[in-house]
Structure 1
């Protein structure tokens, strides 16, 4: 099993202290957490993409380029790249550049994104967001693979024998599809034979397990080898301590801070108590043995081989956060690495060979997702 540390770069008051860090300090904290993740032996570090309050993650290529310059081993993930909002040509240019600057350590997780404000900012509607996501991915995928591209997309100007630079280092780059509660991302991943990353943070296990089962069904429907279907999964929170009592006691102020914020917004919490949150959500809060057992319970439903934890302290003190991650890596990760296989592909970069021949195959005006059947 592989382990990622992921941040959405939330810029909000600390749920326990109420203190909000200045923007510059928040970015420095993100970089420090990336360095800590590499130091502790995490396999990947991910940065989300949001274009609305309270997030500072509007430019993951810039953040990840800075992380790339300061690290040497850890793989760099987007979580997610919101292709429904982006020009796929410009997105390709950014990430092909990052691919070189990182020495081929880039993985992409793509998705349509969430949030009304950012959708309105880019003039994307609920009716066209999924078609935009699918079309942008089709074009991005071709740009990465082909030296010249001719296409007549629906949502951006057509391309005629277009050459886009730089050519990437990895050919191809690995692209995961982020999935929350809708089937569209699942169907798109299965159609192209790409890995799936389940958000797995808001609800109990059942809806996520159902979507993963659907992914595997559609994967086989499209003729892919069932043994090569790959799933990653998120977690709703994390704190590993020597005993369950220590873990729950340390996390209680964090949970209560988040609960108060939800009530302030008029949002009905899915998990009304910390005990319910620990029991029914994907949060990993407890002793090393309890965390191991919970990951195994989820693995029985998901069959996932990649797991993400939160890179940010999120209300824990810096010392608590570091101690928790250190304990996870010393007492939890080795057991899960032994018990649960890695994804069936090389984790090291697949670097470019000779440039491919020019291709001018014209694609349909809209690369819409296939029927869910």
Structure 2
């Protein structure tokens, strides 16, 4: 099993202290967390893309390029690249450049994105967002594979024998499809034989398990070998401590603050108590053995081989957050790496058959 640390670069007051870091401080924190993730042995570091409050992750290529310069081994993920909002040609140019700068350490997780504010910003409607996502991905996919591209597009000017530079380092880049609530992204992933990454954050396990089951069904429908399926899944929070009691005590102020925020904002509340959140959500809160057991329970339903954890402290102190990640890597990850297989592909740069990857 592989483990990613991911940030959406949320920029709001700390849920416990109420202190809101400056934009500059928040970006520095992201870079420090990326370096820490590599230091602790995580397999990947991901940066989201959002174009609305309270996020400042509108330029993941810029952030990941800086992360690439500060690290040497860890793979770089987007979480997610909102292709429904982007010109696929411009997106290709940015990501192909990043791929070279990182020596082929880039993986993409794509999705349509969500939120009315960013849809309005880019003049995307709920009615056309899925068509935009599919079209952008199809063009993006062609650009990564073909020297000259012709595409009769609806949402950007058509392409005729178009050459786009630079040509990529990885041929092709690996693209995961982010999945939260809709079958459209799942079917797009299955159609092209691409891996799936389940959001697995907001709700209990059932709706996510159903979408993954549907993905496997559509994968076979499209003629792909079931042995080649790769599924990743998110988590709703992390706090690993030597004992259950210590983990609950550390996380309770965060849960209480987030619950109050949801109620004040009139947002749906799925888990009314911390105990229910720990039991029925994907959050990894508890002793190392509790966390191992929970990941196993989810693996039984998902068959996933990649998990993402929160790279941000999210209300824990810096010391608590580091201790939690260190304990995860020393007492949880080794067990899960032994018990659960890796994805059915090499974790390094994607290169044509028979061509060796450059040293990274």
TM tier, smaller: over 0.9
Normalised to the residue count of structure 2, the TM-score between the two structures is 0.98
C-alpha distance in structure 2 between counterparts of 1:158 and 1:303, whole Å: 40
For residues 352 and 156 of structure 1, the distance between their equivalents in structure 2, rounded to whole angstroms, comes to: 30
Aligned twin of 1:321: 321
- 2:10 pairs with 1:33: no
Could you say which structure has the greater relative contact order, defined with CA pairs below 8 angstroms and 6 or more residues apart?
Answer: 1
The 5-angstrom pairing of residues 285-296 of structure 1 reads: 285-296=285-296
Report deviation, 1:72: 0.2
Cα deviations across residues 318-370 of structure 1 (Å, max 9, x unaligned)? 0000000000000000000000000000001124699xxxxxxxxxxxxxxxx
Distance 1:351 1:9 in 2: 31
Contact map agreement 1:289 1:332 (CA 8 A) in 2: yes
Partner Cα distance (1:150, 1:21) in 2: 46
Would you say 1:120 and 2:107 are equivalent positions? Answer: no
Moved over 4 A (4+): none
Deviations 1:228-270 (A, max 9, x none): 1110000001100000000000000011111111011012310
Moved more, 261-270 or 163-172: 261-270
Match of 2:272 in 1: 272
Partners of 1:2 and 1:141 in 2: how far apart? 25
TM-score (norm 1): 0.94
Aligned to 1:361: none
Unaligned runs of 5+ in 2: 355-360
Matches within 5 A, 1:22-61: 22-61=22-61
| Separation in 2, partners of 1:200, 1:140 | 26
Distance in 2 between the 1:48 and 1:150 partners? 30
Match of 2:17 in 1: 17
Give the corresponding residue for 1:357: none
CA contact (8 A) 2:174 2:350 kept: no
Contact 1:109 1:175 (8 Å CA) reproduced: yes
| Residues 142-201 of structure 1 deviation map (CA, whole Å, 9 limit, x = unaligned) | 000000001110100011110000000000100000000100000000000000000000
CA distance in 2: counterparts of 1:190 and 1:238, whole angstroms: 30
1:288-331 deviation per Cα after TM superposition (whole angstroms, max 9, x unaligned) = 00000000000000000000000000000000000000000000
Distance 2:162 2:268 in 1: 50
8 Å CA contact 1:104–1:351 kept in 2: the answer is no
SS at match of 1:346: coil
Deviations 1:29-55 (A, max 9, x none): 000000000000000000000000100
Matched residues in 1 for 2:110 and 2:159: separation?
Answer: 22
In structure 2, what is the equivalent of residue 155 of structure 1?
Answer: 155
- Structure 1 contact 241–327 (Cα < 8 Å) conserved: yes
- Is the Cα contact below 8 Å between 1:169 and 1:352 reproduced in 2? no
Give the C-alpha shift of residue 27 in structure 1: 0.1
Shift of 1:95: 0.1
Q: Is residue 241 of structure 1 aligned with residue 247 of structure 2?
A: no
Unaligned runs of 5+ in 1: 355-373
Indicate the SS of the match to 1:38.
Answer: helix
Instruction: Name the counterpart of 1:206.
Output: 206
Superposition pairs of residues 61-210 of structure 1, within 5 angstroms:
61-210=61-210
The size of the alignment, in residue pairs, is 355
Tell me what 1:364 maps to. Answer: none
Counterpart of 2:358?
Answer: none
Distance 1:323 1:173 in 2: 34
The 3-state SS of whatever aligns with 2:77 is: strand
